[in-house]
Chain A
Amino acid sequence: DGGITQSPKYLFRKEGQNVTLSCEQNLNHDAMYWYRQDPGQGLRLIYYSQIVNDFQKGDIAEGYSVSREKKESFPLTVTSAQKNPTAFYLCASSPSPSGGHPFYNEQFFGPGTRLTVL
């Protein structure tokens, strides 16, 4: 089955530690995204990548880093510089419009990772 997987589902970290959240997709999508969701709020864009080896900052990139070495994978590292990292993190992917895909800009989401800083 095609889809997006995120691991782990729940993650606990001690203050001051870096932690990496995994996101893998087998949909052959060019673009991938990371969002953060806080209770009672909408999703806010952290980083996005339109193509392998390239990524752009979103609205709240401070304290986060990403890499895009493979088309299928877009891991997010939450660094110790992120002041308030406890949140629900969602990864998404979408096809590139250059392929003429009819669902241009429709993003498909993974199940999310809930990060708690102790």
Chain B
Amino acid sequence: AQKVTQAQTEISVVEKEDVTLDCVYETRDTTYYLFWYKQPPSGELVFLIRRNSFDEQNEISGRYSWNFQKSTSSFNFTITASQVVDSAVYFCALSPMDSSYKLIFGSGTRLLVRP
């Protein structure tokens, strides 16, 4: 079975703190994609990053960074120096590299950044 687990339901931090959102996935596929999406209060999902299973390099984009570890089936997301605008629900998702085109979502982590 394929599954994505985001164990942190809600996280609250004070502005400028660093915060890491955890994502653990399960799949028997050897090839797959992993994603992170942000859902602000408006509701629309915003794409943040896509990573394929062959590429375990960590990635940094401004204040955002991602740590992909195949050995522990984890794809964690860190926000450095958090800002109030980072407050949102963040979803991790898994997609097999087949013709189904499906995305399997975790239950999301609500991040609240307080001023």
Contacts and interface: CB of A to CB of B under 8 A. Distances in A.
Interface of A: 31, 33, 40-45, 48, 50, 58, 88, 90, 92, 94, 97, 103-112, 114
Contacts, number: 60
Given A40-B9, A105-B95, A105-B97, A48 B102 contact: yes
Interface centre among B9, B99, B102, B106 (most CB of A within 10 A): B102
Given A103-B50, A106-B35, A45 B44 contact: no
Instruction: Give chain B's interface residue range (CB within 8 Å of chain A).
Output: 20 to 34
A111 B97 contact: no
Contacts of A43: 45, 91, 103, 105
A48 B42 contact: no
Contacts of A112: 43-44
B103 A111 contact: no
Contact of B107 (A40, A48, A111): A40
Contacts of B102: 45, 48, 58
A48 B101 contact: yes
Contacts of A110: 44
B38 to A, nearest CB: 11
A41 B107 contact: yes
